[in-house]
A = this chain, B = another copy of it.
Amino acid sequence: MSYSISAVAEATGLSTHTLRYYERAGLMLTPVERGSSTHREYSEADIAWVIFLTRLRSTSMPIARVREYVELVRAGAATTPDRLELLARHRITVQAQLEEMTQALEAIDYKIALYQKEVAK
Give chain A's interface residues, CB within 8 Å of chain B. Answer: 52, 55-56, 58-59, 77, 80-81, 83-84, 87-88, 90-91, 94-95, 97-98, 100-105, 107-109, 111-112, 115-116, 118-119
Q: Determine which of B81, B91, B111 lies in contact with A87 in the assembled complex, contact meaning CB atoms within 8 Å.
A: B111
Partner of A83, one of B87, B103, B115: B115
User: Assuming A55-B103, A101-B58, is B84 touching A108 (CB within 8 A)?
Assistant: no
Kindly provide the distance from the CB of A65 to the nearest chain B CB, expressed in whole angstroms: 13
B55 adjacent to A119 (CB under 8 Å):
no
* A97: chain B residues within 8 A (beta carbon): 101
Chain B residues whose CB sits within 8 angstroms of the CB of A109 once the complex forms: 91
